[in-house]
Amino acid sequence: MALSVRKVCLPRNLNFYLFKNNYIIVLSSQNPVRYLRGSRHGFRRVLGRTESKFQELIKSVKESSKKSVVNTSKVPDTLLKSTSPKDESSKISTKLHDTPHEDIHKRLDGIITPLKNLTYARQLERKYGKCLSLLRMFGERLRSLKMPIALGADKLPCPVELMLPSTIIEAYRNQDEFSIGIGADGNPQTVGFFIESLEGALKNVCVSPDNLVIIKNNHKNFVKDFENYINSSIPPTLQDGDGSYWKSISMRSNMAGDIMGIILLNNQGLSPKQIQQEKKNLREYFEKSGQHYNLKSLYFQENFLCKAANDQSPYELLFGESYIIEELNGLKFRISPQSFFPRNTNAAGSMYNALKQLCRVNDSTTVLDIFCGTGPVSLTFSPNVKKCIGFDTCSKSIEDAKFNSQLNNLSNTEFIHGSPEAVLRDIFTCDYHSDLVAIVNSSKVELSKTAIRFLRECKYLKKVIYISTKPRTAVDNFIRLCKPAGSESYLGKYFVPVFALPVDLCPQTEHYGLIMMFQRL
């Protein structure tokens, strides 16, 4: 028998305290019994009581309050057991086993797909409202800078098109990454997403993606197959806190249903012989089982550090093709493990088609494709412009972009590996006598202040198209493009917003993309 004493004045940062005599004091965030507050040593006074004195304390607290603030209850035996590392995994398993399966998956749904229960029309309406609020805030900031921009009756800085919908609203993600850790059933090698645990000793619990509507079925099949494999391979290790030697798995797929799998192993003292044997086991297992869900290639990455760079831990192809091919608006793109490509292929295709109409380019236009990735923007614009120059900080993406240009027989594209600041400085030393249009795809990272300065100083640059998948973080760059010359050392004539197009790139979620067109008038 143990006692649970509630609302006693003890330190607020203590959740519970286990006494030598198996008494437990459970605390709340409030301390209504103020006369017990005493001095800074009140906590030790409570702990120093004998059992008889402790009972007297309980009695006095009851008598001094109209409402009972003290409850006695039995404490589960599991809380009174040893908490040594040897017993840690069994205790975690016991506590998490009682978590309802439906509840934990509903919680994951609420985190990953919060708009799942809304009709798609309602989802678009909700996101469109968020976009309008953001643009109104942008307009107010422009007005505070005394920009010569007249806000309309709707307080918007420019015309806003209706949100461009996605043609596919479920099972649209072509790239996913999953962690490995302790699941709700206590399995230490569960594959899925981590969410905060409401019960038990774990801070986070790993939940499988089975019920998520935005994940493709063949991705789910690979997850389940990998979970079956690792539960019969290297035993888990709980000491490092990540739950397993296995760090994570990721996958990339195309519209044809082909999958590229990538497995990350967290090396925790495994010998080279053990690593080689595990690679062999992976190859033999997935070459056979992967045929059921179109696994075309499997990569392996050994992680020696917590956050090892890819050049320190390169990807190793275990079997299959070194890349998969995706089609977008009639163009073919090579996808490798590290290359950037939009996660929703259909929505990206619609967005790039709308982008062509928005830009109104011609055969004398040169397009600067900033953060080009594998080159979808450059390749989309290439047949209708004089030249496309794409650049990116990821060398693998540039390699894929060059390959994709040759694959589609396009000769007026150029791709450069480097930061926007370095490449823009070199490009603008050339004398362009034709239109220049810059397209910024800030899906991975926002453009720096220095790069914005180079764009402002280029006299031949007529338009800037800014594509952002996180519009709120891009507003500062919108402002920098529009600031009057001379403020914050910005030179060159300012740009003004002339058009906005919101795009639904992630149905079932709160996320949306925004295309902003800026032009010098």
Query: In this structure, are residues 278 and 234 in contact, taking their beta carbons and an 8 Å threshold?
Result: yes
What is the CB-side half-sphere exposure of residue 44 using CA atoms within 13 A?
Answer: 3
Q: Is 211 annotated as a binding residue?
A: no
Cα gap 34→95, rounded to integer Å: 35
Pairing of strands 259-266, 295-303: parallel
Query: In this structure, are residues 471 and 134 in contact, taking their beta carbons and an 8 Å threshold?
Result: yes
Pairing of strands 175-181, 246-253: antiparallel
Show the tokens assigned to 433: 């006598």
> Over the range 217-247, which residues count as b (16 or more CB within 10 Å of their CB) and which as e?
ebbbbbbebbbebbeeebebeeeeebbbbbb
Q: Which residues, including other chains, have CB under 8 Å from residue 115's CB and lie 6 or more apart?
A: 122, 123, 126, 507, 508, 509, 510
Query: In this structure, are residues 436 and 458 in contact, taking their beta carbons and an 8 Å threshold?
Result: yes
Cα gap 377→357, rounded to integer Å: 13
Show the tokens assigned to 477: 């760059």
Q: What separation in angstroms does the CA of 208 have from each of 262, 305, 399?
A: 18, 26, 34
- The dihedral over CA atoms of 352, 356, 361, 366, expressed in degrees to the nearest 10, equals 0
Q: Is 353 annotated as a binding residue?
A: no
Helix (H, G, I), strand (E, B) or coil at 475: helix
Query: In this structure, are residues 438 and 460 in contact, taking their beta carbons and an 8 Å threshold?
Result: no
Gap between the terminal Cα atoms of the chain: 81
- Bridge partners (DSSP) of residue 461 are 436
Q: Is 242 annotated as a binding residue?
A: no
Query: In this structure, are residues 10 and 21 in contact, taking their beta carbons and an 8 Å threshold?
Result: no
Q: What's the 3-state SS for 107-150?
A: HHHHHHCCCCCCCHHHHHHHHHHHHHHHHHHHHHHHHHCCCCCC
Identify the CA nearest to 229 among candidates 287, 295, 285, 293: 285
Give the H/E segment covering residue 192: strand 190-196
Show the tokens assigned to 132: 């309008």
Going through 279-427 in order, the beta strands assigned E by DSSP cover: 295-303, 316-320, 324-328, 331-335, 366-370, 387-392, 413-417
Query: In this structure, are residues 176 and 251 in contact, taking their beta carbons and an 8 Å threshold?
Result: yes
Binding residues are 371, 392, 441
Binding residues for S-adenosyl-L-methionine are 371, 392, 441
